Chains A and B, each alone.
Chain A
């Protein structure tokens, strides 16, 4: 039999802890650990994957304008009401982590104030006890008002907050630092910007171990292979010793998959599109997958279980 040549890697991806339990000064029931891989995805013979990829249920603080009816009906009456929506994800679908998008703060989608959003976060933290990922509305000026208030409302809960971009990161980094959270650094399918942004953030004093990279992905048929190659190259650099690239990845699978026209063409197809996009990104090394349809989440979770089971066998 031919000799199997194993790669010897220099460094592991950093482990980011999301959520703080009472012992850590927060009120979450558990901590979600992501990252920590010392090998390429699922190559258990060359290293370890101490933390399995996790799936975060995506929810919104308003009825999200661009979600199709198929998603709305999956959540029933709670759709658009973040508190009952969140509770449904946790109770009915056993969500281990939630991703709340504050779309309602956007000037075009309701223009909710920083105080309103901070109040929502406080209420949500009381309603559910899973760790949280909190995203701004995408309008830089508004996010710079809302996210600091949100960070403060969740002080000590060690959330994952996003997103820092190359032209707008300072306000968010300062808030995340002050209130003990982790940050998402977004780069537009550009490895050079991903690296630069991580350096800029760490220069402000936030440890590289507190950063999760959003490499920006495309759905199946919409640039998935570009995302795949960017993630692969980043991960190879990380494993070869580049500390500035050794951060876990977050991928907005639901957002991209449900934008595809194929996902909306007929009932059931969107679920398949979301699930297949997720499986490819799991293979690319995604650590957090933000997803929308409960059935797609369930299938992707089964897929992860299957891959993790090969560990050591």
Chain B
């Protein structure tokens, strides 16, 4: 599974403080801890309160690149912030994210092509969050069609069905899971499926349990990647075990250790 560590985000107080005070060591420690725990890539988000995100994202990218060559997911709703990050990135890049809105696609797909970056597409539009599977698939198809027209490789496209908190949108969970499977049949080669996992447990009390149960189920529906907290060991163990059951790795008694040696 492609795991994007979510912890470098200005939404968290320690990270926000480190960005504000330009305290590199805190960011670098957070990067390395996530890599050690099994992250395949790292999300980089300046946070909602950042006053100078265009500068901050460059500082974050440069700080992280000093300690790891893992791919970085530039996470912002503003295309100019993403472009600013791309200008200084040396590692492989992931654009997190575009929506299905034409103006977003027109801004971000050319950037993804120019910088040879992977692209995360949210099945959401200016009209709002989709309410069922059909709306998700319609938006997904619009993103795939746009990418195909622009010559962006569909292999490098990750579609996110928008995971909603289970305590507010319980009726949609099954639709979200089924969307993951159906994303794969939109085109050949097929786009990949990814989720921002933690949202599923937003406001719930047993967050870790809800996260890992959803993740295991989503993997069974064909999920390829997730943005999550790799320091949650139970979550990582559950994901590795789910992939084992799906015959993605060869079993051995130390399979958890074997996976982490990768």
Q: Is the CB of A244 within 8 A of B261?
A: yes
User: Which stretch of A25-33, A154-162, A189-197, A284-292 is in the interface?
Assistant: A189-197
State A63–B218 Cα separation when bound (angstroms): 62
Asked if A170 is an interface residue, CB under 8 A from chain B, the answer is: no
Does A241 reach chain B (CB closer than 8 Å)? Answer: yes
* A199 touching B250, Cβ below 8 Å: no
Q: Tell me how many residue pairs across A and B have CB atoms closer than 8 Å.
A: 35
Near A by CB (< 8 A), chain B positions 132-168 give none
Kindly supply a per-residue 1/0 record for chain A positions 240-251, scoring 1 wherever the CB is within 8 Å of any chain B CB and 0 otherwise: 011111000000
> How would you classify the secondary structure of chain B's contact residues: helix, strand, loop or mixed?
loop
Is B251 part of the contact surface with A, judged by Cβ < 8 Å? yes
Whether A237 lies near B249 (C-beta < 8 A) is yes
Q: Given the complex of chains A and B, what is the CA–CA distance between A128 and B197 in angstroms? A: 62
B262 contacts across to A, CB distance below 8 A? 241-243
A200 to B257, CA, bound (A): 10
Which residue of B has the minimal Cβ distance to A197? B252
A123 to B262, CA, bound (A): 42
A192 CB contact (under 8 Å) in B252, B257, B261: B252
- Please indicate which of the listed interface residues A195, A202, A243 has the most CB atoms of chain B within 10 Å of its own CB: A195
Q: Are B257 and A195 in contact (CB under 8 A)?
A: no
Contact of B250 with A242 in the complex, beta carbons under 8 Å: yes
Tell me the smallest distance from the CB of A301 to a CB of chain B, in Å.
Answer: 32
A242 to B252, CA, bound (A): 12
* B252 and A243 contact, CB distance less than 8 A: no
- For B258, give its contact among A233, A234, A242 (CB under 8 Å): A242
CA of A105 to CA of B227 in the docked complex: distance in angstroms? 58
Complex Cα distance A63/B251, Å?
A: 41
- Mark out the residues of chain A between 180 and 217 whose CB falls within 8 Å of any chain B CB in the assembled complex: 191-193, 195-196, 199-200, 202
In the assembled complex, B254 has its CB within 8 A of some CB on chain A? yes
A195 to B252 alpha-carbon distance, docked (Å): 6
List of B residues within 8 angstroms of A233 by Cβ: 250
B interface residues, Cβ below 8 angstroms from A: 249-254, 257-258, 261-262
14 extra interchain contacts, Cβ-Cβ under 8 A, other than A192-B251, A195-B250, A199-B254? Answer: A195-B258, A196-B253, A196-B254, A199-B252, A199-B257, A200-B254, A241-B262, A242-B249, A242-B250, A242-B258, A243-B261, A244-B252, A244-B258, A245-B250
